[in-house]
Structure 1
Amino acid sequence: MSQTDRALTTALAQAAATAGRAPSVHNTQPWRWRVLPDGLELRVVRDRQLTATDPEGRLLVLSCGAALHHARVALAAEGWRAGVERIPHADDPDLLARFTGLTQVGADPEAMHLVQCMRIRHTDRRPVSDEPIADSALDEITEAATADGIRLQLLDRGQVLQLATAASQADTVESEDPQLRAELAYWTGRAGDVGLPAAVLPEAPPQTTVPGRDFGRPGTLPVGSGHDQAAGYALLYGDEDEPVDWLRAGEALSAGWLTATRLGVSVVPLSGVVEVPGTRAALRGMLAGVGYPYLVLRMGLADPTHAGPPHTPRLGVDKVVDTSAVRGT
């Protein structure tokens, strides 16, 4: 193996490892990478699908899309440019993406900065501060999230109230379903390298205009007395509702979230309202029926009086990155 080939496989393995910092529904981390001598493959891990909550796999694939974007950025930060084939084989639906045609170019300074943002990005479900987000920041986040054909619609006050009603309805539906409750209980308040530990869950329901998910148990994260009146809400959506669209939506989520992190903006994904068919239809009504909703985002400036919550745990690199095809070469 030449020095260039060795540098490539090292960069691929490092990018796959860095991608493990990506957000995923309930921190399921449903991805598996395979490093090849001349490329990198992303596969979905069906064993970590929320079969009751997400039977179609929309959030499963969206989570993998976020990891895909993380890997793209990590490669660019190391000076590699790659083409990406999404859902390359219809007869192999678990193969979500493949990096091909990698060429060595100069390291991208913006990508290097975003890799730093990956290390500090987290989900803070507590109310945000009373300071509104600057319009320039919202514009920059929107531009980043819509670079690959996915769109982000900022909701006006009336739409936020509609969203609040839909989120409350979705929470009621899910809280009354024993399978959904059991699945949520399995992935929350646990110790280990996947799922949501108690330290990242609020100790009491936060005072928010749009209710967040009821995790069925209190966490240990102090909430405080704030509200989210200065928060903004947005709908991530696209023209189609197929796996490749969910994958791109995850990439858009990652791009927007990392940009928000760079700008000091807190992002909380709200998936409950998308998980229930009836409330997902209500979201589609906000789009006048011309788009398919993938995820709702709450954005705001974190309350400076509170320290951020801890990061969620991550699977070890050996559990998510397969280097057997290049080992010993």
Structure 2
Amino acid sequence: MQPAAVAKLEPDQVESVLRAAVLAPSTHNTQPWLFRCSPGAIELHADLTRALPATDPDRRELLLSCGAALFNLRTAITALGIHPATVLLPRREEPTLLATVRPLALRAPDARVTRLAKAIPHRHTNRMPFTATPVPGHLLADLRRAAEVEHAWMPVLDQEQRDQLRSLAEKAHQVQVADAEFLAEWRRWTRRTPGSRDGVPLAAAGVVSGEDWTLRDFGSNGARGPAGGDEPLVVVLGSFGDQAVDRLRAGQALQRVLLTATAAGLDASFISQPVEVPEVRRELHHLLGGGLWPQMILRVGYGSPASWTPRRPLREVMVSV
């Protein structure tokens, strides 16, 4: 069997695919990734200086964020007509090295990849209330298939499970607001000065609905906004394992789902409290039948335009060989 031919990314292509990678979502917009580029590969590293010890003590969400960036990178390379040969956690002795991506033989991208790549710059987390317009069944099926392509699963909750999830979200919220370290970390990343290139600026923070438990308080003073109407579609993204490699895969699945939603005209944001509090996450694990590890909860629907979160310049996320 002949080895696959090696393709080369030109400097402008490297810049282009990295600009796509950094548009991935991350907890509190911490952007916890670094990239090392060589002529034959792009390495994705975790930037542990941007970890959130109070919110994410086991760095699970950091791995999800980096997995989402990896999916953007893979998609952008594929859209160039180049196959991104990807290896997760390639060197056990270097735990911050999360993946290597090597450009291989040229191949024509299919229409689905092109559609996802075009959605990358348009995807953003919409923390505002959604309209009451339901998500059509065929689009929900597309989102579920997107998760499965990346080795994840996305069950849709029935009303009883939604009610239980709401209780879990409220329980997790109470745990977090009673934690001084969590609150200090939250404020540090969600009350940024104008012009800051990370964190969640107030313009993108959204409002808290008095009725909608799926919205989280990112506002400056906890003021409640108007009710958000009917509750949006809520789905859980889960994996069948819970090791580092499973979390990286879940992050890639998460981003494929989000880009699929964006391409279909849908908005999405995260309900993260139940998966951030360990004991509540275990309860959710059992609620899902015990075979699926919940990695993230999404609210999906049709929203009004919302502000985008900024990104750091590429020079800050690239490390020399």
Does TM, normalized by the shorter one, top 0.5?
yes
Q: Write the mapping of 1:313-328 to structure 2, written as runs, cut at 5 A.
A: 313-322=310-319, 324-325=320-321
Tell me the residue number matched to 2:198. Answer: 194
Question: Once the 2 structures are TM-superposed, how far is the Cα of residue 116 of structure 1 from its aligned partner?
Answer: 2.2
Query: Structure 1, residues 200-259: CA drift from partner, whole Å, max 9, x if none?
Result: 1124x2245434333473489x95443233x11111111111111110111001000000
1:167–1:212 CA contact under 8 A, matched in 2: no
2:54 is paired with a residue whose SS is coil
1:217 aligns with 2:214: no
Equivalent position to 2:140, from 138, 141, 145: 138
**Identical residues among aligned pairs (%):** 34
d(CA) in 2 for partners of 1:164, 1:7: 47
Tell me the residue number matched to 2:70. Answer: 68
Q: Write the mapping of 1:281-296 to structure 2, written as runs, cut at 5 A.
A: 281-296=282-297
Tell me the residue number matched to 1:206. Answer: 209
Tell me the residue number matched to 1:46. Answer: 48
Question: Once the 2 structures are TM-superposed, how far is the Cα of residue 84 of structure 1 from its aligned partner?
Answer: 0.6
Q: Which residues of structure 2 form unaligned runs of 5+?
A: 1-5
- Amino acid of the structure 2 residue aligned with 1:291: L
2:128–2:206 CA contact under 8 A, matched in 1: yes
Query: Structure 1, residues 12-32: CA drift from partner, whole Å, max 9, x if none?
Result: 332122111111111000001
Pair 1:211–1:187, CA change in 2 (3 A): same
1:9–1:37 CA contact under 8 A, matched in 2: no
Question: Once the 2 structures are TM-superposed, how far is the Cα of residue 105 of structure 1 from its aligned partner?
Answer: 2.0
Q: Which residues of structure 1 form unaligned runs of 5+?
A: none
1:168–1:211 CA contact under 8 A, matched in 2: no
- Amino acid of the structure 1 residue aligned with 2:306: P
Tell me the residue number matched to 2:307. Answer: 310
Pair 1:208–1:85, CA change in 2 (3 A): farther
Q: How many residues align?
A: 314
d(CA) in 2 for partners of 1:208, 1:85: 44
d(CA) in 2 for partners of 1:310, 1:127: 13
Tell me the residue number matched to 1:106. Answer: 108
1:114–1:258 CA contact under 8 A, matched in 2: yes
Query: Structure 1, residues 89-133: CA drift from partner, whole Å, max 9, x if none?
Result: 111110000012522222444323222211111111222111111
2:129–2:215 CA contact under 8 A, matched in 1: no
Pair 1:36–1:228, CA change in 2 (3 A): farther
2:202–2:219 CA contact under 8 A, matched in 1: no
Range 245-254 or range 231-240, more displaced: 231-240
Pair 1:271–1:226, CA change in 2 (3 A): closer
1:87–1:96 CA contact under 8 A, matched in 2: yes
d(CA) in 2 for partners of 1:155, 1:283: 12
d(CA) in 2 for partners of 1:67, 1:250: 8
Range 258-267 or range 124-133, more displaced: 124-133
d(CA) in 2 for partners of 1:216, 1:127: 13
Pair 1:286–1:185, CA change in 2 (3 A): same
Tell me the residue number matched to 1:86. Answer: 88
Tell me the residue number matched to 2:256. Answer: 255
- Amino acid of the structure 1 residue aligned with 2:240: D
